[in-house]
Structure 1
Amino acid sequence: MAHKDKKEITVMVLSVLLAFLMWIYVVQDTDQEINTIVENVPVILANENAIQESNLALANPGQQLTINLAVKGAPRDIMNVRVEDFRVEADMDVALKKGLNNIPIRVTRKPLGVDIVQNIETSYVKVTLDKLERKSVPIRLNLVGVPKSGYGYMQPVLRPTEVLISGPATQINFVEAAVGRIDVTENSADVKASIPLKPVDREGRIVEYVKIEPSLADVYLSIKPTKEVPIIVKKTGKLPEGKVLKYMNTSISKVTIVGDLKYLNEIKYIETVPFDLSNIQENITQELPFNIPPNINISGDIKGISVEFGIENKTSKTVDVSVSILNANDSYNYVFSSNTISVTIEGAESIVKDIDSSNISAVVDIKDFAEGVHIIPVKIYGPDGTQITSYTPQRITVTITKK
């Protein structure tokens, strides 16, 4: 029995000793430092105002700057390390230049028990800088939708009318305007709004990384009744000798005008600015602005029309035309001193060359004449686009007798 107890005690002592030795091994093993790489740790730019003070700007403000950190520590510390546990800064308060800059970094926060292995004093990130550019651009208003039927909008009132933009020169050079947006769908009342502005290029695409001052614009949009009126192309001067205006085609024939009813009621048409015909030698297409009356706006922000002037050589032709009677009475006989009229007609060469007696009318109207001998004027009618320059005789003697 005593032998058995002694054996059990020996086993227990050996077990405790073995456990102690294993504990020492584990402690020594876990205290042994290991190295690892923490990838893509964000780098924050400190003292960023120094960039603008150097009259520079980030060439790519949207770029995410990162660095890979070599760290060491006990396994129990290293195995739980996260990117978020580190804060790395690049101090921009150094000598800066346009182009590529190597900016030193510093680690301002790290987990306990973790050390940085790499030499931070020689670590840096590459930051590309551009010249800081500033310029003024106009504000443009994009109106979305259409007002209620029978209504339109007057010229918008903007305050301010232009803004100051700043940013990298490569971006600023693309900016043509600052654009704001207002929806006028089904509106019949005036609109007042403060709208955000965005920098855009000539194609209307937003240009990133550009600052606008001020970033908001106040807009007043007056909604008024509308009226549709014809367009008249106003012409001055005469075509050169031997030339004729064969046709005049306009891109649109009517416009919708907007304004108070008292002004709309006074307007019967909209004229273009005068166009001088005296120097035209051949076909020409001309953009003619409208001559817009005060207190009136043109719907759709239409500024003018395109007018195509068809110019051709002028020619003339003499044609003998039979006289016809207008308002004849079947109870009477009519005898003319001349049954034909010699008519000279002129116009565009392509029109006049095909004209014959069937295209011209020579008419005497005897409605108010009774029995007897009368001298009655002859009226001549030619095709559109032509002009009757002369005809003989201009009067004929008509003898009227009862049947």
Structure 2
Amino acid sequence: MGRYFSSDAALKVISVLVALVMWMYVMNEQNPQVTYVIRDVPVQLKYLDDSKLALKDPTQQYFVNVKVRARRSIITGLKAEDIVAEANLRGRIEGENLLPVSVNVPAGVELLDFSPREIMVVLDAVVEEQMPVYVDVKGVPAEGFAARTPVATPQAVLVKGPRTLVNSIRRAVVELDVTGKNGVVTATLPVRVVDAKGNEQRGVTFRPDMVEVTVPIVPVSTVTVRPDLRGQPLEGFVVREVRVEPSVVMITGNSDALKNIREISTEPVNISGLARSIAADAELQMPRGILPFDEALKKVKVVVEIERVQSRTVSFSSSDISFRNLGEGLTAVPEEGQFVLTVRGPESIINKADKNSVEIYADASGLGEGEYSLRIRAEVPEPYQVIRIEPENVKVTIQKDYRAGL
């Protein structure tokens, strides 16, 4: 009986050994161990203290290639996301950090190698900075109105983020459309933070993210500025040109009052006895209740060019004389003659004075047919002045104009 059981146990052991050999044969021949490289396994950055540090480039990704060995059936279904690659950011500093990478593989898979074993991670300090809010006013108000300087409440936002990103921000912006408006416009608007090119900067936070904006829309009018010159230059000198910078200004105030204002004068500018050009800052003389639209505009510059005076004679004939205010159906026939006009002006432009730049005329107001001796007059553009005309009178016959009925 004992011999029977002994042989039975031996058979069982032999059967197990045969089965094991057969299993090993099948596994090695049908599902063998294979070596494989899993590429582009993403590296997870762990334990970053994001209250103090941030990735300088948040879009930067890190990868390793992992060499493993496992049964073919396991390798076939193995993916990059099944492997865990990590880099520990605890205790790191701003700037470049060379970090070791650790890799863990699933059960049944043997880790042989991976590369790179270290990655360079660049960190930025997290900083906060106040940025003023700039209000970008869009559109054109109603005719006769203009938008004054907008006011944002609060006037600044606190921006927080990586130092590089925060430093690239130039301002916080809100946009308000005032098209067709004719009164105060108030709105609560979202804030955007932008770089020097006006591109919205992401990757930062800011507070508040909404601000209240008020834009006064006021009645306006554009008027010329008239310089108030007092006195005359030194004898032998003349004012060649007067310029005001700016020559026109925008004013604001009561709408009815604005309708009656065409120009604004400066405070008096004294040129008495001057023999040289001057430039003087002069305050604007605003009527009561009227203000410059530009609140910073308190004065304008008055430039007075003064030159030595020279005289010049201009010859003309009676045919160059025009006759003004002739009665209807009448014509004037002057006696032939030669005349000399003497003008004076700045020495730099006196040579430009000729009969083409002078209006020479005689006034025939209230005269009927007959012969007359009329005073010759001349009009010259500034800064020229008429000194005399020789002879002073022209003989003229006023008669019916027979061409009038043709």
Report the TM-score when normalising by structure 1. Answer: 0.60
* Alpha-carbon separation, structure 2, partners of 1:85 and 1:280: 90
> Is 1:229 matched with 2:229?
no
Structure 1 vs Structure 2: percent identity of aligned residues? 20
State the SS of the aligned residue for 1:194: strand
Could you say if the C-alpha distance between residues 88 and 158 of structure 1 is closer, same or farther in structure 2, counting changes exceeding 3 Å?
A: farther
CA deviation string 1:330-351 (max 9, x = no partner): 99x9x9xxx967533214734x
Q: Please point out which of 98, 103, 108 is paired with 2:99.
A: 103
The corresponding residue for 1:49 is 49
Letter of the aligned partner of 1:26 in structure 2?
Answer: V
2:338 equivalent to 1:344: no
Distance in 2, Cα, partners of 1:86 & 1:256:
72
Structure 1 pair 125/232, CA: closer, same or farther in 2 (3 Å)? same
Distance 1:357 1:259, change over 3 A: closer
Task: Name the amino acid aligned to 1:41.
Answer: V
2:70 counterpart residue number:
73
Equivalence for 1:62: 59
Letter aligned with residue 123 of structure 2: L
Secondary structure of the residue that 1:219 maps to in structure 2?
Answer: strand
Matching residue of 1:195:
190
Render the CA deviation track for 1:162-205: whole Å, top value 9, x for unaligned.
3344555555444332233345566678351322312221x434
Distance 1:222 1:354, change over 3 A: closer
Is contact 1:239–1:280 with CA below 8 Å preserved after alignment? no
Q: Which residue of 1 is the match for residue 353 of structure 2?
A: 355
Q: What is the match of residue 40 of structure 1? A: 40
- Would you say 1:219 and 2:213 are equivalent positions? yes
5+ residue gaps, structure 1, are: 1-17, 285-289, 371-375
Answer yes or no: is the 8 Å Cα contact 1:178–1:200 preserved in 2: no
Report whether the alignment pairs 1:139 with 2:133: yes
8 A Cα contact 1:167 1:210, kept in partner = yes
Asked if 1 retains the 8 angstrom alpha-carbon contact of 2:133 and 2:155, the reply is yes
Distance in 2, matches of 1:294 and 1:110, equals 81
CA distances 1:41-64 after superposition (whole Å, capped 9, x unpaired): 3333333325x53xx553322212
Structure 1 contact 137–163 (Cα < 8 Å) conserved: yes
Give the counterpart of 2:311 among 304, 317, 321.
317
SS in 2 for 1:43: strand
Structure 2: where are the runs of 5+ without partners? 1-17, 369-373, 400-406
Tell me if the contact between 1:244 and 1:348 (Cα under 8 Å) persists in the aligned partners.
no
Q: How far, CA to CA, are the matches of 1:275 and 1:182 in structure 2?
A: 43
Letter of the 2:348 counterpart:
E
* TM-fit CA distance, 1:96: 1.7
Q: Residue 385 of structure 1 corresponds to which residue in structure 2?
A: 382
Q: Partners of 1:35 and 1:274 in 2: how far apart?
A: 98
How far the C-alpha of 1:93 sits from its partner, in A, is 1.6
